[in-house]
Structure formats: C-alpha cells, structure tokens
Chains A and B, each alone.
Chain A
C-alpha cells in the first residue's frame, strides 16, 4: 500500500504532446506486431461510465467500432457501469478474473480506485485511463489518454471574450453539481475571466444538469431575472441547445443577441452553429478508440508509454461549422 500513500500528491502533468491521432496507421502496425509476438489477440477490457451524454455515446461507439473492425487482432470486453463507480470496480474485478491483457477505464469519479488498481497491478494488468483522470499514485496506472477540462474552460473563456468584445454580462450553465467535468470547466472558465477580462461579469450561474431540458428551464429563468445578457457559457452542448430554445421563446436571437459558447462539439451544436444560432464550441474529442487500442498494444508489447497521451482538441466557430458538419461522426 505504499504506492497509494502518495495518492494525494498532485498528479504530475506530463509535458509530452504527441498528435497521436494522426499516427493511427502506425498504431495499427504496432498492434499487429504485438499480436504476432503473443500469438494471440489483444484482449482489452473497457469499463465505460455509462451513457449520460451524446459525447459519451460517441466515445463508446468509437471504441466498439474499432474493436469490431479489427476483430482479427483485438478483442474487446465492454462493461457499461451505468454511472456507478461500484459497477466499474466490479467490472474491473471481472476483467482481472477473466485475465485480460489491458484494462481501459473512463472513471466515473476521480477517487476511490486504490484498491482495485492495486489488484490489477498484482495481477500484472496495466490500466489505461480514458478521458477522465483518477486520483491514484502514478505507479498504479499505465497512462492517461484525454484532454484537460480546466484547459477547455479557459479556451471557452477566451472565445467568449472574443465574441462579446471583452465586456458585458454573461450567464453560465453548469453541469451536474459535483461532476468533475462541471467543476473543472467552471474553474477554468471563471478563473480565466477573472484573471484576464475584468469587463465581463458572470451575473448568474446555475446547474442545468448537463441536459437540454434543464438547460432550457434554467435559461428561461436567467432571461427573466437578468436584462441584457450578452452571452451564455454552457458546460456542454446539450445545455446550450436547451438555452437556444429558451432564448428564441423570449423573442431574442440566439447567436446574435446572445452569444453562445459551449464545450464538447456534438453534431447538434454544429447544426445550430450552421444555422447561426450558436457561436462556438470547444471540441473535446471523443473518438478515442484507436488511440486506446494502440496504447494498449504498446503496453502489451512491453513498450513504454507516456503518462499522459493528449488527445487533440480544437475550437470550432460558427463560420467553420457548415464546412465541417458533413464530416462530423457524432
């Protein structure tokens, strides 16, 4: 248990930034090599959080599609934890039981993984964290693949500032209270605004639970208690889509009267941007399937991998929307 004692220490942020997504082809080579050496398929057990959002579904789909397309080389054991950490822990234990090569995990929560990670380590199975971090000692997991919520919040703040000309009132639609995506996206955004844009005032901030329906309801209320709102920052696209409806009902023009910035980059928001009803989304790439398997293959082959494999994120604005829309997979 000595490893776990350092778990409270800050997780070192690795500096490496490799545009891994572009090297998928190379990755497949590696995968093939790995399976040759082992003489059998690469077995990956993946414990997914659940299906709380369209983004998550896209991620799941990407993983599953990769696995089925490369059925000769990899085998995927997939578990849907239905938003419960307990289920994820159970799933990992089952993977250990079944003797998979690598375990992938998108942790529901940051904490609480020491015990089960230790078990995996005992069994000699490396763990890859996907899109969310786990608060454990670095020795307990192999690598983290994904982006940084705080960074996303900051990017969104910059975009918002650009859109409304660095001053005016804005409102914020928060995600589920307590969810790390919500907390970090809020911290990143709020800090950036406070630090760099004194002219912008966040006049109201309330949770919309990451859903369209609530996003709409909360926005309705914001519109009534605050006059001349210049912009809306939503922690995910779904809430932004809900807010757009509320703005329209109030007789205002979303995207013009009130600027809209959100995070995730799901198809719906691109459609809205193409229609001029939204302004900007910070993409948080969910198509992590290839990267996951490629890293797993490396791990199986005993190669070293970075502690943080960054996925490529990007900012999409309304003028780019129409162009990229046809290529959007999710």
Chain B
C-alpha cells in the first residue's frame, strides 16, 4: 500500500457516551483511493459510531482524521460533505414529506438561468439516476409512499450522486433483495474505477467477499485489524469479529429442520377468505397452520408488508372474512390482533418500531403490557426480569436496561423489538424483515429461536429479502406479485430457482 494512495486516515479515535459506554477506543482506519473497504463487526461493535465521528455527527473525544494528508475536523454532515465525504447512514435519513426527486437533490438543486430551482431538471435527473438503479418509481411522489427498501435505494442514489471523494455506506443492503444489491454493486464498482474510496458496512459476508478489497474489523469498540479480503478466509473473519471460535456458529447457521420434518398436519390458526383492503390487497386467500413457518417472498413492493399489516389490523379489511382458530375474528385494530394471539414485528424499525425516548425495558414490555391491559401494570421487578432475560437471550449489547433505545446500535434496536413481541408469547408471530441489520451470530440465533418456537407449535410468518434465510427456515412459501398471491411452494419444493421462476413467470404451482 503506497502512502500516496491514501485518501482518508483515522488515528486513535476514541468516543465514549457517558461513563458506561465506550463506543470506540483507540480505533484506526484508513481508506485508499479506488477501493471498497469493508467495516465489519458485531452489533454494537462501533461501526456506525466511527462513521458518525468521521462525518461530524458526533464529537470525538480524541483522535485525528486526515483527508488527503490534511487534518480535517468536520462538525456536521455539511462540513463533511464539503470535505468530500458523502454518507448514507444506517437509518434511512431522508425527508418523508418531500418528493423522491427532491430528496435526491435537496441542498444541491440545479438552478435555471434566473437562479431559481429548476424542477423539471430535478425530476428528469432523478428519474435518470434511479433508472441506473433499476428503480422505476414516480419521482414526484412523496417519499413516504414507498417502502423502506425503496427509501434505502433513494438514499444510496443520493449519496452516490454527490460529487465526493469518499462514499460511506452504513448497511445499505440490509433490506434490499439480491437484484437490487447487484445493481448497487455495479455502481459501487464503477465509482471505484473513478477513483472514489468507498466504506461499506454490512452483515452479509457474501457481499463482503463479492465487492470489497480490504476489511477492517472492530470488536467492542476496539480495533482488531485490517486485512486484504482475498487473504482472509471467511472462518477467520468471523472469528475475528466475534472473538471466538467459528465452529459453534457454523453449526447454528446450518441448523435445519429435524429430519422428521414430514410433520403431521396441524390445526389451522388463521384463515383468510377473499380478504381485501382499500388501496392494498385484493381478494387474498391464506391459511396458516400452527407449527409452520410460512414465508412471503416477492419483489420490492410486491405487497408482503401490506398483507402483514392487513393481518394485524393496521390496514382496514373492507371485504372478506378472517377466522382465527375456526372462529370469526374481527381484526379492526392491532389490539384485536394481539388479543387473538398475533404479534407483528414491523419492517420500518425507526418509524414503526422503536419508541426512541423510552428505555429498553419499557420498549420490551410495551406489547405485553398492552396485552394485559392498562390496569394490570407489569411491576418494575417483573419488567426488569423480562428485560434481562431477553437481553441475554438475544445478546443485546447495552450497559443496562435503563438505556434509551435510541442510543442502541441499529441491530440491537432490532433485537429489542423482537424481544417485545416474543415477550407477548404469541401464537402467531409475523416478522417483517426481523433480521435487518443483525449480525450473523445473532441471525443464526434468531433463526434457531424461530424454528424452536414453531417446533413448539407457534405459527410464524416470515418475511425477509434475504432468500437464504427464508430457505433455511420456511416450511412453506407464498410468492407475491402486485399484491396478489401468484404461487405457493411446500417443504421440499422450496428452492431459490423455484421462487425465482414464480416471481418472474407467474407459473403457479
């Protein structure tokens, strides 16, 4: 590595939040021109914090940042941008009340001759830019019309279009499906060719090996090392990330359903007949049985999340009927659904999941408290116990139960939301992208939990853009397209090709 090629160097960065949390301790990092550099580590390892410190969102306690050999000290994203660092943060940080096009160009709007904003050009440019990502959406619509995945693509498009020397992507792929990821990689490679340095955070090791040149690993806020991707075998990488042997994890990751998966027919938990909801699903038929893990797959915007929302009483059912355990059920509100034993872990963690200003324990007990009713307050002691139990079970990294959830790392927030629903002890658990942003170790853990629960008779609906994960867990798979069911696969029939075939061709099984 020639020193002249160095674009960004970071030395001895430390950052603590209060006394209890040392997010970064003496971390170093360097980025070359024309490379894609993976920044890896478990949930809460300090990746996002490092990025925030680099871009001036958080003040560092100590350390030096150099750009092109010149010391910089950005105090806001704006200053970082001026220094040539463009960033996509972990949580989608765009303005839902503005149009897609505007979100891409705000702050650097093209002007016309009179110095006023050229809206025609903005829209045209945005359309062109998103075409490159194969995203054909109406750019004049407000951003909040679209799902997280689309929003994430928009954020990436925005950052990649900013004229910068360094592009930082903090878990950009966490809710993208493989097609979109491929598109993203194409673009990243192109930018690399143009000499840009890219920092890439992800929990998907496949992706690391697919695009990155070098890897820096953090663990518990400490610098572990920097390696050439080619020279670091996967097993070793994981070892460095989790700080212990890979073998056990491997076992967990490969957990499969026990062979007698020829499991006997169980009773039906919920049955939808010809259910429609205004503006979303139409004429939906679905049966979910106890003890099965049902997967929904489909492309972006195919209606997976929408269907789950209808099932949970968030979107109103205008037609059709729902039976829970063979009895008519009226799912007018989430409370009805919860009372019927349904739980739903929504896909948009920031807006639909976390209650940011509340502590971890409050976030965990919230759904259970709702289920029990307002007058049966969960005692502080019980809450504490519950919280501790799940912190341990899901390995939530936090200094204590009192920590505000907004101060947790993204992956850990996701775990808290998961804990919230597991705590309600549901009969039917709906998980929309539950592993979004979760590290491999915990992911395996969650898979195990899901299978475990299903094994004990719980019905699970699993929605994930990560097909591998779905293949591993699901006992049945329903493929959606345009808010409609277009195919169903059972047990052994489930395979990537089969799903792809249905998604593409519409050949129902």
Tell me, yes or no, whether A and B come into direct contact in the complex with CB atoms closer than 8 A: no
